Amino acid sequence: MYDVLIIGGGLAGLINAIVLSKAGKKIVLIERKTYPFHRVCGEYISNETLPFLASLDINPTEWGASSINHLQVSAPNGTLLSMPLDMGGFGISRYTLDYNLYLKALQSQVTIITGTSVEDVIFSSDTFSVTLSDHTSYTARFVIGAYGKRAKLDKQLNRSYIHKRSPYVGVKYHIQTDFPANYIALHNFKDGYCGLSAVEGDKYNLCYLTTRENVKKSGSIEEMERSIVQKNPFLCQIFSNSKFLFEKPEVINEISFAPKTAVENHILMSGDTAGMITPLCGNGMAMAIHSAKLLSGLLLIADEQKWPREKLEATYTQQWNKLFAKRVWIGRNLQKLFGNERLTAMSVHFLKTLPPLARFLVSQTHGNVF
């Protein structure tokens, strides 16, 4: 019997595991892949996370993280907005960050099982029984769902958003290129946008969101990049003059920004599994870390004060919504300004003339230091 079983070993899963294990809880974490590995992700984290990470003795600069303090946004026609990032952030690959958090979790006595996935979760008599694809099973008092954007478990839980197909596709590369290491760029193209920022080791993360329709009409990702993505002159320059370090891109389908719930069938959701901000806001990783801090902290309080499960679930839902629901809503609506070529050009031009408004919109997608 474990105190907590965590499904998924990304940022939210690993941070929950580290915090809870340091507090003396017996934790098991299930990750279907084997560390280290790449994930489709923007790989930028705002500095709001640094005090909390420091409290866990985590210093991203020791792992080579870049320091980022400026933002560029371009429209498909080349109109460019450049502005400082008031809070700033850092860039680090998920390959490096997740692997080092994994090692830290092991040092904190977390039991971690990799290379297998969760097949079934049953809640009965105030206890969870979890069966894995290798037919082993575990029992736990609590289960945290931190398996990312979508998984088979969402269908088993009959989550509302899973029945609506999402049109979005995410594609990621690591490249070597000529670009200021303290900048993060967001270059727009027809029905999509592409982020570029430095990570560790003289590398840059190039990650874009587009639609299945763009890929379908073009016939392949490569042809879409040539005929649609590179119509933005900045992206044309990047694709033409950079060294691509992957043999093939990392790709993820069916990325959904639909509202989710923080608790499903008594499973406590964390990170993207609870709710996902649109990538153009560049703050999904910080949200995942903050949501893990919130959930693990509440679990410890609930255990100490002997809360009934219903109180824990209601409190977590309320506090998750208070912290993140507005930011997620703003992200969904900001995304509507981008993608249409004409509207994107008008939006970027308008924000160039009103720098205070541009900085305000960026601040609304970020949280406070925690």
Specify the 3-state DSSP secondary structure of 317: helix
Cα–Cα distance between 40 and 195 in angstroms, integer?
12
255-285 residue pLDDT tens: 888 889 999 999 999 999 999 999 888 889 9
Q: Which residue has the higher pLDDT, 206 or 152?
A: 206
Task: Answer yes or no: are the C-beta atoms of 189 and 228 closer than 8 Å.
Answer: yes
Distances (CA, A) of 169 to 33, 38, 41, 284: 21, 16, 12, 16
Specify the 3-state DSSP secondary structure of 20: helix
Local confidence band at 117 (pLDDT 50, 70, 90 cut-offs)? very high
Other CB atoms within a 10 A radius of the CB of residue 247 amount to 5
Local confidence band at 247 (pLDDT 50, 70, 90 cut-offs)? very high
Local confidence band at 23 (pLDDT 50, 70, 90 cut-offs)? very high
Local confidence band at 164 (pLDDT 50, 70, 90 cut-offs)? confident
Q: In the prediction, which pLDDT does 98 show?
A: 98
Q: In the prediction, which pLDDT does 340 show?
A: 81
The answer to whether residue 243 scores a pLDDT higher than 80 is yes
**Who's near 252: CB < 8 A, 6+ residues apart?**
40, 149, 169, 170
181-211 residue pLDDT tens: 999 999 999 999 999 999 999 999 999 999 9
Cα–Cα distance between 31 and 213 in angstroms, integer?
31
User: Do β-strands 183-189 and 66-74 pair in parallel, antiparallel, or remain unpaired?
Assistant: parallel
Q: In the prediction, which pLDDT does 369 show?
A: 94
Cα–Cα distance between 195 and 180 in angstroms, integer?
14
The answer to whether residue 339 scores a pLDDT higher than 80 is no
Fold designation for 2-364: FAD/NAD(P)-binding domain (3.50.50)
Averaged pLDDT of the chain: 95
Question: In the numeric block, which tokens belong to residue 77?
Answer: 């026609």
Alpha helices in the chain (DSSP H): 11-22, 50-55, 94-107, 152-156, 212-218, 221-227, 233-241, 284-305, 309-320, 326-335, 341-353, 355-364
Q: In the prediction, which pLDDT does 365 show?
A: 86
Task: Answer yes or no: are the C-beta atoms of 23 and 297 closer than 8 Å.
Answer: no
Q: In the prediction, which pLDDT does 325 show?
A: 93
Spell out the domain ranges in the chain. Answer: 2-364
Determine what percent of the chain is predicted with pLDDT higher than 90. Answer: 86
Cα–Cα distance between 228 and 236 in angstroms, integer?
10
Cα–Cα distance between 324 and 320 in angstroms, integer?
6
Segment 297-317 mean pLDDT: 98
Task: Answer yes or no: are the C-beta atoms of 119 and 131 closer than 8 Å.
Answer: yes
Cα–Cα distance between 316 and 313 in angstroms, integer?
5
| 3-state SS track over 90-122 | EECCHHHHHHHHHHHHHHCCCEEEECCCEEEEE
Task: Pick the closest to residue 72 from 237, 280, 249, 211 (CA basis).
Answer: 280
Q: State the angle between helix axes of 355-364 and 341-353 in degrees (0 to 180), rounded to the nearest 10.
A: 110
Unique residue bearing structure tokens 């270059």: 187
Task: Tell me the backbone φ, ψ of residue 19, rounded to 5 degrees.
Answer: -60, -50
Q: In the prediction, which pLDDT does 166 show?
A: 85
Q: In the prediction, which pLDDT does 28 show?
A: 98
